[in-house]
Structures are given as C-alpha cells and as structure tokens.
Amino acid sequence: MHKEQKIVIIDYQVGNLSSIANMLKKVGQKSIISGDINEIKSADKLILPGVGSFDYGMNKLNESGITEVLNEKALNDKIPFLGICLGAQLLTQSSEEGVLAGLGWFKAKTIKFDFSNLQTKLKIPHMGWTEVQAPKPCPLMENLIDSRFYFVHSFHFTTPDESEIMLQSEFGYPFVSALWKENIYAVQFHPEKSHKFGMQLMRNFINL
C-alpha cells in the first residue's frame, strides 16, 4: 500500500486524462481528475498531461485560470510535478510549433525534429517504442534499467543547461526526451501507454 496522498491530474480540456488515472489505479494509487483551483491547491502531487498543439494547450491553460496556482505549487511549495507529452512541452520556454510563451520552468525550448542533415529522411511524428538513457541517477527512473517508452511526437526538447537533462533517446539523431529540475519532471513519452515501464515510472512518482 502507498502512503495516503492526493494526486491531482490537471484537467484543462486537453488530452486523455482517464488513461493516466487508470495507470495510477493499476499500481494501487487513487487520483483525482480536476481543473478546480482548490483541488489543485490541496494536492500533494500534480500531473499535467496533454496532447495536441503547443499554442492550443497554452491557451487552454491560460483560460483555465490555474497557471498562477501551478507556479505556486511547483516553484514555491515544490511538490512533485510531472508533465507528460504536451504537458511536458508547456513547461519549457517556448515551442517552434507556436508563438505563445510556455510556463518557462526549464531553460529548455521545444523544437521540431530536423532531418535536413540526414541522408535518410525519417517520418514524423516519431511514433512507437524507443529506448531511453539516463545520464545521471534520477528518482523517477528507479529500477528502470534498459527501459523503453512509447512516443508519439514531432517536437522535442533542447536545453542550454545540461543539468536539466533527465533522459536522452535517438530518432535520426540523439535528442532530449525528458527534463528534470528539483521537484519537476517533464517526459515527452506516454508512461500510461508504456506497460511495465510506465507502471514502474508511476510507482516511482508515487513514492517521491
């Protein structure tokens, strides 16, 4: 049994939230799907999912009126925070996909895959199972040696600060597939679609 804690999956009308709740349930953890400020304020841990375009996601987040409380919980209270897919990209400075500023919790930016220097042009989106490498030990990757995760994306992270790099992967060339800074984790892949690897990552998040 896990310790009693309140995990809120943030609902800002972007993405399939129930699949993340189901993954948490599989590893014995209840969660709440909510966009309510008071629910988010009282959370012990937060998950920001999302699929779709960057500006659409940022607009939805801004319209929801919860960006201030997210900043407060993640940056001031420093509770564990996990961004997934688009939700991870929104934590960066900006994206080549849009014009709006991201939340800017990382120095990283989100850029499009660029295969112009490759002899073989790969198809995007990058879709399917891909291995990840951790350049340093990370609590979210506990017991995840030789792990792979399920990806669906056309954009990836790049950061001037190597200390933010949690995981790297390869698709045509090496790219940053996850970011980590103190209590904040941002993963480009979908743990909820990554079977035993995703389950272990979620267990690790629960145990932070």
Tell me which residue has tokens 């980590």: 180
Q: What is the DSSP letter of 114?
A: -
94 contacts 57 by C-beta, under 8 angstroms: no
| Closest C-alpha to 82, from 43, 136, 33, 46 | 46
Q: What are phi and psi of 119, to 5 degrees?
A: -70, -40
Q: Name the E strands within the chain.
A: 7-10, 32-34, 45-48, 81-84, 109-112, 126-131, 148-153, 155-158, 165-171, 173-181, 184-187
Task: Catalogue the active-site residues.
Answer: 85, 190, 192
Cα 114 to Cα 41: distance, rounded to the nearest angstrom: 39
28 contacts 64 by C-beta, under 8 angstroms: no
147 contacts 141 by C-beta, under 8 angstroms: yes
